[in-house]
Amino acid sequence: MQNKLWQPLKPGDEVDVIAPAGRPYPGHLTQIIEVLTAWQLRVNMPDDILGDDLLCANSDAMRLRHLQAALMNPKSKAIICARGGYGMTRLLPALFNMQPPAQPKLVVGMSDLTSLAIFLEQQWGWASLHAAMSVWRLEPVSITAIKQALFAETNPIKFTQVEPINQLAKENRLINSSVAGGNLCLVQAGLGTAWQLNAQDKIILLEEVHERGYRVDRMLEHLHQAGIFTQAKAVIFGDFIGGEEPNGTSLIQPVLQRFAERLPIPVVHIKGIGHGNINYPIPLGTPSQLQLGINSHLLCQIN
């Protein structure tokens, strides 16, 4: 099944801003609205987007209501998730009972929203955009890149800083596929669920934040033993931010290197995809080409 791609935005389009996971600060919501408005988009955000909950932006019932309303809103062209955090996985069981809208729309999110991206592609055949609207911390180059992706000002999106991690990634070859995955912890959290990542013939993207080396190794080993990498075409490691040992050193890179050398598929690193202040958007579920060897690069189609 070929995924249904979103339509690029244009000035005057309506977008929904929701918080289906963690709680954003009210000031952060204001900043998101200001940026989207400056891009000449009409912003629809629930008045009760924030409420009382132990861990999340609002109760499960309210977050689900906002998400379903945004998905079914016939006027909006995109859904902007205000932040990741925690909580999206609590809503997924209810989405399996929904009938997808006839027209796919652009869903923007990452981190905890990895689970939503996996659901949308595998259940509804929707592509999505792995990106963060964390405008309060992102460098201007990242904000510009997000705008270019939303409006398809750059199409396809090209990543030229592709670093081979294992020997297979150094061989000259072209991989035609699509990118799937996102945050390592969330991909692992899907194991054994109805939304477990199906990585067959896919390029798996993995990135992480604030996890020490042994924890990253444990998550990768879990995915390996569960067979997630068995039929994948390649792996992309994005940024692994933080995770220092108590003495200030880091074991992240040696862990990633050792793991990459075990896999019988190419493994590369692309800097700037993840939780850093520089965070480039990457389409998930769209036609993509990973060129390995000389002049290695990744091309991801938008529409």
Tell whether the model's pLDDT for residue 40 goes beyond 60. Answer: yes
Distance of alpha carbon 279 from alpha carbon 58, whole angstroms: 27
- pTM attached to this predicted model: 0.97
List of residues 6+ apart from 23 with CB closer than 8 A: 50, 53, 56, 57, 83, 85
Q: Provide mean pLDDT across the span 185-211.
A: 98
Asked if residue 212 lies in contact with residue 251, where contact means CB atoms within 8 angstroms, the answer is yes
CATH of the domain at 60: 3.40.50.10740
Q: Provide mean pLDDT across the span 96-113.
A: 95
- Chain centroid, CA 284 distance in Å: 7
Same domain, 294 and 163: yes
Given 93, 119, 150, the domain boundary residue is: 150
pLDDT per residue as tens digits for the range 48-90:
999 999 999 999 999 999 999 999 999 999 999 999 999 999 9
Same domain, 200 and 241: yes
Which residues belong to the active site?
A: 111, 207, 275
Domain holding 77, by residue range, is 14-150
Q: What pLDDT is recorded for position 1?
A: 54
Give the chain's domain count: 2
Q: Which residue has the tokens 């003495």?
A: 247
Please give the backbone phi and psi of residue 267, each rounded to the nearest 5 degrees, phi first.
-130, 130
Give the confidence band of 303 by pLDDT, cuts at 50, 70, 90: confident
CATH of the domain at 286: 3.50.30.60
Same domain, 26 and 99: yes
List of residues 6+ apart from 120 with CB closer than 8 A: 107, 126, 127, 128, 285
Q: In whole numbers, what is the pLDDT of the chain averaged over residues?
A: 97
